Amino acid sequence: MRSPGRAGAAQGGVPLIRPPSIIASKDLEVTDKVPPPPERLAPHKWLGRGALKKYCRQERQGLELYLSKLAEERIRNHALSKKEERLEVMGFLLGTVHRFRNVTYTIVKDVATTSLEATSVSVRFERGGLEDLFCALDTTDFNYVLVGWYHSHPGHGCFLSETDVNTQLRMFDRPWHSAMVIDPVQMDIAAFAMKDGKAVERPFAIYWDEFQNPYYGETVRNRRVRSDPDGMAAPQ
């Protein structure tokens, strides 16, 4: 696929990323924080047997990526909305970065996207949609950093192409950056990170808040607050 940076470059002096941007020359100050509790975690339902084994092994050591139920729903629904047309989708992962027991991990709390120019094998932001993307970033109601990006491979499986790897190295080169790939046709999903210049799979967990329905498709408790792992939102 094409790089999101081609259409996402600054225009007229307007930066692509408005609250705090992460650049290669500046390290993020990682804060200590306990990750979401085990009773509110689950592997994604689209993980295959091999991915589930990786998940279980990594869970014992400490996961490096947590995807909120809200963010998961938005990524999955975005990909499914273009499933019949076999068009790729794309967006940014918004979140925070923390450390617990010497493991640095990322919490993806939300996503942001805009109108796209897409085919079955490529995708990029429409130049005319960048203003909407800036607005979505500006109205995000928590202090975030861009912790990665997501895109779909409808019917092609989950992997990083050579172009995807180049995008990751150029735009998301920090150890805690992730690239999520979703295939709504084969019902597959995976996350990747760069290690020694190569893409490696990064196991991740779905988490939900205390008053949310656990994961999608299971009715246990009525949802009362939006995804808010920091406990900042007031119950409705």
Residue 234 predicted with pLDDT over 70: no
What is each CA distance from 226 to 113, 171, 208, 211, in whole angstroms? 19, 29, 9, 9
Q: What pLDDT, in 10s, does the model give residues 132-160?
A: 887 777 776 667 889 999 999 999 999 99
pLDDT value of position 96: 93
Q: What pLDDT, in 10s, does the model give residues 169-224?
A: 998 989 999 999 999 999 999 999 999 889 999 999 999 988 788 887 654 443 34
Q: What pLDDT, in 10s, does the model give residues 19-65?
A: 334 434 456 788 899 999 999 999 999 999 999 999 999 999 999 99
Q: Where does the pLDDT of residue 71 fall: very low under 50, low under 70, confident under 90, or very high at 90 and above?
A: very high
In a domain, 223, yes or no: no
pTM as predicted: 0.79
Nearest C-alpha neighbor of 96 from the set 236, 234, 232, 213: 232
How many domains does one find in the chain? 1
Burial class (CB in 10 A: 0-12, 13-18, 19+), 49: exposed
In a domain, 146, yes or no: yes
Domain containing 163 — which CATH number? Answer: 3.40.140.10
The residue to which tokens 């607050």 are assigned: 225
Q: What is the 3-state secondary structure (H, E, C) of the chain?
A: CCCCHHHHCCECCECCCCCCCCCCCCCCCCEECCCCCHHHEECCCCCCHHHHHHHHHHHHHCCCEEEEHHHHHHHHHHHHHCCCCCCCCEEEEEEEEEEECCEEEEEEEEEECCCEEECCCCEEECHHHHHHHHHHHHCCCCCCEEEEEEEECCCCCCCCCHHHHHHHHHHCCCCCCEEEEEECCCCEEEEEEEECCEEEECCCEEECCCCCCCCCCCCCCCCCCCCCCCCCCCCC
In a domain, 33, yes or no: no
In a domain, 35, yes or no: no
In a domain, 77, yes or no: yes
For 10-19, 91-100, 108-117, 155-164, which range has the lowest pLDDT when averaged over its residues?
A: 10-19
138 vs 73, higher pLDDT:
73
pLDDT value of position 169: 92
Residue 12 predicted with pLDDT over 50: no
Q: Where does the pLDDT of residue 233 fall: very low under 50, low under 70, confident under 90, or very high at 90 and above?
A: very low
Give the separation between CA 83 and CA 80, rounded to whole angstroms.
5
Backbone phi and psi for residue 210, each to the nearest 5 degrees, phi listed first: -55, -35
Residue 110 predicted with pLDDT over 80: yes
In a domain, 18, yes or no: no
Give the structural domain span for 187: 63-207
Token pair for 64: 């490096």
Give the separation between CA 121 and CA 156, rounded to whole angstroms.
9
Nearest C-alpha neighbor of 19 from the set 130, 70, 95, 113: 95
pLDDT value of position 148: 95
In a domain, 32, yes or no: no
In a domain, 233, yes or no: no
